[in-house]
Amino acid sequence: MNGVKAEQLTKVYGKEKKIAVDSVSFTVNEGQIFGIIGPDGAGKTSIFRMLTTLLLPDGGHGYVNGLNVVTDYKAIRSTVGYMPGKFSLYPDLTVEENLNFFATVFNTTVEDNYSLIKDIYIQIEPFKKRRSGKLSGGMKQKLALCCALIHKPSVLFLDEPTTGVDPVSRKEFWEMLKKLKQAGITILVSTPYMDEAALCDRIALMQSGKILAINSPEGIIRSYPQKLYSSTVSNGYSLLKVINRWNTNVYGYSFGECIHVAAGNEIKIDQLSDYLQSQGYHNIRFNHIIPTVEDSFIQLLKN
């Protein structure tokens, strides 16, 4: 059985009929970490809210553990955990009080399912008497995850869980997700961070409500259709303008402190170097590199 399945899932907002999710389809097998990767406004949160029965779809179907998100919403709510992107616990309650409250809502106790949250909770237990609104970003994240897990869900939805969190806490968080996956929990996580894509079993790259590609991170990279080069330069902006008007089968873009240049397989990079030399750009060296998921995303957007 698939842990989660979306079939032509669609969401439209407002009188303008703005399409936020455009006929999206994917499946997530039990025990997988499935990442939905894309920028703000891509449609990630709307998908999560439909699959967790918080929004009604305007088209298509969604299933969680074989249950329909419209007709079986009560049963789904008792079997999923949801951690929204914005901290949504009660800031005036302590760590301990928040956890006990959510356990009570699901008719269970912290003691019954403590084994599931133990590795996470022991990191925040020293602060259990502190109000949750006074916690650091990383601690809030850990508490929210504990509250989402306290009723032992079979599927966990995490909507941009590491946004605004420091790099150390981000790393710790993903280590926790690996342990939860080993416990058999199906995990759907959305993120705008391309580097987190490599930590998922399968990913969907999204933009403007549409899925551009679905594959393993390695599969996404293997499908990159061009040769990719990198160069570290000081005048990247002006250089890119020159590169991008040279040949329609070549395009360059900024990538951190470097520029990346994607070229059709028929293009030899020496030809580009010679052209740049003729335009007054001397000693520009290009190194052939393996693309990242982010490079693949940029290539998909261009096409």
Q: Tell me: the pLDDT tens digits for 123-153?
A: 899 999 999 999 988 889 899 999 999 999 9
- Torsion over CA: 294, 295, 298, 299 (sign): negative
Give the DSSP letter string of 43-110.
SHHHHHHHHTTSS--SEEEEEETTEETTTTHHHHHTTEEEE-SS--S-TTSBHHHHHHHHHHHTT--T
Banded model confidence at residue 302, pLDDT cuts 50, 70, 90: confident
Q: Take residue 2 and report the two structure tokens written for it.
A: 């698939």
């699901």: which residue's tokens? 106
Long-range contacts of 171-174 (CB under 8 A, 24+ apart): 172/123, 172/138, 173/138, 173/141, 173/142, 173/145, 174/199
Cα(302)–Cα(151) distance, rounded to whole angstroms? Answer: 44
pLDDT-based confidence at 169, cuts 50/70/90?
Answer: confident
Whether the per-residue pLDDT at 281 is higher than 70: the answer is yes
pLDDT at position 137 is: 85
Q: How confident is the model at residue 51 (pLDDT cuts 50, 70, 90)?
A: very high
- Side-chain-side CA neighbours of 217 within 13 Å: the count stands at 18
**Res 207: pLDDT:** 95
pLDDT for residue 2: 65
Q: Which residue has the higher pLDDT, 113 or 61?
A: 61
- Any idea what the Cα angle at residue 109 is, between residues 103 and 111, rounded to 5°? 130
Q: Which tokens in the block code for residue 273?
A: 């170097």
pLDDT digits (tens, 9 = 90+) for 63-118: 999 999 999 999 999 999 999 988 889 999 999 999 999 999 999 999 998 988 99
pLDDT bucket at 165, cuts 50 / 70 / 90: confident
Distance CA(125)–CA(232), nearest Å, equals: 47
User: What pLDDT score does 173 carry?
Assistant: 87
- d(C-alpha 188, C-alpha 264), whole Å: 35
Residues with Cβ within 8 Å of residue 271, at least 6 apart in sequence: none
Residue for token digits 């040279």?
A: 246
Pairing of strands 2-13, 18-29: antiparallel
Helix 167-182 × helix 114-124 angle, to 10° = 170
Rounded distance, CA 80 to CA 157, Å?
A: 7
Give the whole-angstrom CA distance, residue 58 versus residue 130. Answer: 42
- Residues 196 and 13 sit within 8 Å (Cβ to Cβ): no
The pLDDT tens digits for 175-224 are 889 999 998 999 999 998 888 999 999 999 999 999 999 999 999 999 99
pLDDT at 257 over 90: no
Contacting residues for 8 by C-beta, under 8 A, at least 6 apart: 23, 24, 25, 59, 60, 61
Token pair, residue 214, equals 């679905």
Q: What is the 3-state secondary structure (H, E, C) of 112-123?
A: CCHHHHHHHHHH
Q: What does the mean pLDDT of the chain come to?
A: 92
Q: Give residue 1's pLDDT.
A: 54
Q: Is 284 helix (H, G, I), strand (E, B) or coil?
A: coil
Q: What is the pLDDT of residue 276?
A: 93
To the question of pTM greater than 0.95 for the whole model, the response is no
